[in-house]
Amino acid sequence: MNFKFVALIATFATLVFAGCSSEKEAVKIAFIGPLTGGVSANGLGGRNSADLAVRLRNADSKYTYELVALDDECKPNIGVQVATKAAADNDIIAGVTHYCSAVAMGTVDVYHRFGLPVIVWGAVLPEITYGNDYKEVHRVNGTMINQNEVAAQFMIEQGYKTWVIIHDTTDYGKGHNRYFSKSLVAQGGQIIGTFGVSADQQDFNAELTKVKQLNPEVIYFGGLAPTGVRLRSQMEKLGINAVFQGTSGIVSDAFIEGLGPLSEGVLAFREGAPLEKLPGGQQFTSKYQSQDYGEPPEAYGAFAFAAADLIIDAIEEVGPDRSAVMQQLNSTRDHESIVGLITFDDRGQNTVAVITRYVIQDGKWVVWDDSEYAQGTRKLPRS
């Protein structure tokens, strides 16, 4: 049990938001994510979760915290614009930043140049933290390296032998292709075809016609939910009978809503334990629901909460100074959070990597081990 989180919940019960002390110094924290566009569900869930952390901490803190939410639209050029806007605002002390890897990669130079400490809450490309030695950049979730190692091992254990890989041509999609292919081949899997598609591509008939001829047991998709919805739908129309295996980019309620019954049996792998199994997860869910945000926290909401809470801890400790907050974050070791212990290595990457295996069952993302598929009462294609 995360006793710190429980204490925050108890304190929160006495809070009247309009009555927060006006004598406290106001401190701004940025939240940046996709608030509009195809993956906005994830961005809105992340924003709400970071906002919840701010509301909870304003109940009992040295400062009054304000969350400044900015929309990166999951587009690198827009991301650089809003990152620059946040970094150039000296009243913003730190940031909870980015769900989309391509955006996060495009903005790290901005944060380094302006000296703005940030914690990534969703993007998984390893190079975000490991591509540069930027002390301003941190990440609470794991990377696609861990995710794809687990994915490859799991699928091999299920007895599958042949794959076609379809990935979007962003850094995110190409990274998933690279790390999954490496892990899969090392464990004896056979890749019989690889196709790159654009993230906004609508028609996959040409690629899927070739895939049908190749007749793989599994189609691995490296991309985000909107593209995955279109791809899976068109597989059905062409009569392709293969397991659909995705990455963390499709772990979203929006993916299920977009596909309806066609989502049944889809597999995906994501960093972190499911919300109900996280330290303080039930309390987080209860308080999140009490705020009537209008959108669920989605798969990475807990990470956004943990990032905001960790930033507030640092500011409470060293004051609202970017350089001091950066140094405080860099020294993070065994920090208790809703996602478990957080320890940053010398590149700002959380080293506590837990990967969860999911399958869609009856319109919900279900942990594989808890599913009827794992029990053998339901079968995946070609199982």
14 — pLDDT class (breaks 50, 70, 90): very low
Eight-class DSSP state of 320: S
16 pLDDT exceeds 50? no
The pLDDT value recorded for residue 4 is: 57
Q: pLDDT digits over 35-45, tens only?
A: 999 999 999 99
Q: For residues 77 and 56, what is the distance between their CA atoms, to the nearest angstrom?
A: 33
Alpha-carbon separation of residue 204 from 225, 230, 233 (angstroms):
15, 8, 10
Q: For residues 383 and 93, what is the distance between their CA atoms, to the nearest angstrom?
A: 52
The pLDDT value recorded for residue 272 is: 82
End-to-end CA distance of the chain: 38
The SS3 of residue 90 is coil
321 — pLDDT class (breaks 50, 70, 90): very high
Q: How many CB atoms lie within 10 A of CB 285?
A: 17
Task: Copy the structure tokens of residue 294.
Answer: 């209008």
Residue 251's nearest CA partner among 105, 383, 364, 378 is: 364
The pLDDT value recorded for residue 305 is: 97
Which has the higher per-residue pLDDT, 272 or 36? 36
We find that the CATH architecture of domain 3-142+274-352 is 3-Layer(aba) Sandwich (3.40)
How confident is the prediction for the chain on average, in pLDDT? 93
The pLDDT value recorded for residue 281 is: 87
Enumerate the CATH 3.40.50.2300 domain ranges in the chain, comma separated. 3-142+274-352, 145-271+357-375
Residue 303's nearest CA partner among 337, 347, 268, 353 is: 337
Q: Among 70-79, 181-190, 344-353, 365-374, which is the least confidently predicted range?
A: 344-353
Average pLDDT over residues 115-127: 97
The CATH class given to the 145-271+357-375 domain equals alpha beta
Q: For residues 220 and 73, what is the distance between their CA atoms, to the nearest angstrom?
A: 25
Cβ-in-10-Å burial (0-12, 13-18, 19+) of 264 comes to middle
Average pLDDT over residues 249-267: 96
344 — pLDDT class (breaks 50, 70, 90): very high
Q: For residues 159 and 249, what is the distance between their CA atoms, to the nearest angstrom?
A: 24
Residue 255's nearest CA partner among 243, 241, 267 is: 267
Alpha-carbon separation of residue 318 from 83, 314, 336, 352 (angstroms):
24, 6, 18, 25
The pLDDT value recorded for residue 3 is: 44
Backbone angles phi, psi at 242, to 5 degrees: -145, 150
Task: Copy the structure tokens of residue 120.
Answer: 């990534």
Residue 73's nearest CA partner among 177, 181, 224, 230 is: 224
Q: pLDDT digits over 204-257, tens only?
A: 999 999 999 999 999 999 999 999 999 999 999 999 999 999 999 999 999 999
The pLDDT value recorded for residue 278 is: 82
The pLDDT value recorded for residue 8 is: 52
Q: For residues 76 and 37, what is the distance between their CA atoms, to the nearest angstrom?
A: 13
The SS3 of residue 13 is coil
The pLDDT value recorded for residue 254 is: 93
Q: The whole model's pTM is what?
A: 0.86
- Measured in whole angstroms, how far is the alpha carbon of residue 249 from the centre of its chain? 7
273 — pLDDT class (breaks 50, 70, 90): confident
Tokens 């914690």, located at residue: 119
Percentage of residues of the chain with pLDDT beyond 90: 86
Alpha-carbon separation of residue 245 from 16, 180, 264, 269, 359 (angstroms):
46, 11, 12, 9, 9
275 — pLDDT class (breaks 50, 70, 90): confident
